[in-house]
Amino acid sequence: MNLFTLATAPAGSTAGLRESLSEVGLNPFHLFLENMHRLDILSRPDELLDVLQQLHFVWAGIFVTVGLLSVINGYRWHKWIVITVAFLTGMGLGFLLSKSMESSLIIAACVGVLTAVVAWPLMKYAIAACGGLAGAFVGANVWSISNMPPDTYYAGALIGLVTFGLLSFILYRVVIVAMTCVAGAVVLVIGVVTLLIQVEAWQPALRQDFSGNPIILPLIVLVTAVIGFVMQQDAFTHKPGGEGHKHGKPAVA
């Protein structure tokens, strides 16, 4: 069925297609928003695995690809990554504000587009905001795996938010690389774990290992992010003109 047929077909005739798309998981954003309410989700493996088990393997493959590219070479596309994060953040806010409305998805998409459009001319501040979000995510998970009271994870998130947000104005390039590596590592690990958990024979062992050692997932993400950070820094240093842009100054306008 082509796009023209889909657009002109009666509503009833597209029910099968909508059902197929639903099986694939056309909207993982909705799945994450409905089930992930805490930034320290990596330190709560049982909740994370329950969500990932519902995610279709097609999206898992997309996450692996996008995450790997972001980890390896995220700085080159950092503006588009920031715009994407701004769009998704706007969609999240729009969805929460319009949850009781019938067209909540449309409203959320409009708010997301508006946020992305506003972020483009204010890129410097958008980068600081995204860096702050990355710091909040890191801080919340570090706080939780450090045996702090679980309900106070927001304290670690606040520390990470302020720290990364302020550093983004001082160490511009370093924070961008760190932000893209953290975001890419999280997406990559989520995609890989989703693929692994699709194999029913591996599910019990994966759940036992992750649940018994909550530090495993954050550690895997950390190692992946550090590898990406070193690779991006090394690539930047050795490319022509790279030596002239040290001390956190931006390499591009």
DSSP line for 174-194: HHHHHHHHHHHHHHHHHHHHH
**pLDDT of amino acid 253:** 37
Six token digits for residue 217: 């997932």
Report the amino acid identity of residue 4. F
What was the pLDDT predicted at 246?
Answer: 45
d(CA 228, CA 197): 25
CA angle (101 as vertex; 187, 17 as ends), nearest 5: 60
Q: How many domains does the chain have?
A: 1
Residue 34: inside a domain, yes or no?
no
The span from the CA of 76 to the CA of 133, in Å, is 20
Binning the chain into helix, strand and coil, the percentages to the nearest 5 are 80, 0, 20
pLDDT at 226: 92
Residue type for 103, please?
Answer: S
Q: What is the DSSP code (8-state) at residue 39?
A: T
Asked if residue 187 belongs to a domain, the reply is yes
Under 8 Å between Cβ of 157 and 134: no
Q: 37: which DSSP letter?
A: -
Residues 149/128, Cβ–Cβ less than 8 Å:
no
Q: Which regions of the chain are under pLDDT 50?
A: 1-14, 16-18, 20-21, 243-253
Instruction: Please indicate, yes or no, if residue 24 is contained in any of the structural domains.
Output: no
Sign of CA dihedral 55, 59, 61, 64: negative
Residue type, 121: P
Domain that holds residue 213: 43-244
Is 55 a domain residue? yes
pLDDT value of residue 192: 92
Nearest CA-CA partner of 228 in 37, 72, 51, 19: 72
Residue 16 forms part of a structural domain: no
In a domain, 218, yes or no: yes
* Contact status, residue 48 vs residue 186, Cβ threshold 8 Å: no
Residue 166 in any domain: the answer is yes
pLDDT at residue 27, rounded to an integer: 63
Percent of the chain topping pLDDT 70: 78
Q: Return all residues near 205 (Cβ < 8 A) that are at least 6 apart.
A: none
Please answer whether residues 177 and 42 qualify as being in contact, where contact means their C-beta atoms are separated by less than 8 angstroms. Answer: no
What local confidence, expressed as pLDDT, does residue 23 receive? Answer: 52
113-150: b (≥16 Cβ within 10 Å) or e: eebbeebeeeeeebbbbbbbbbbbbbbbbbbbbeeeee
Is residue 132 a part of any domain in this protein? yes
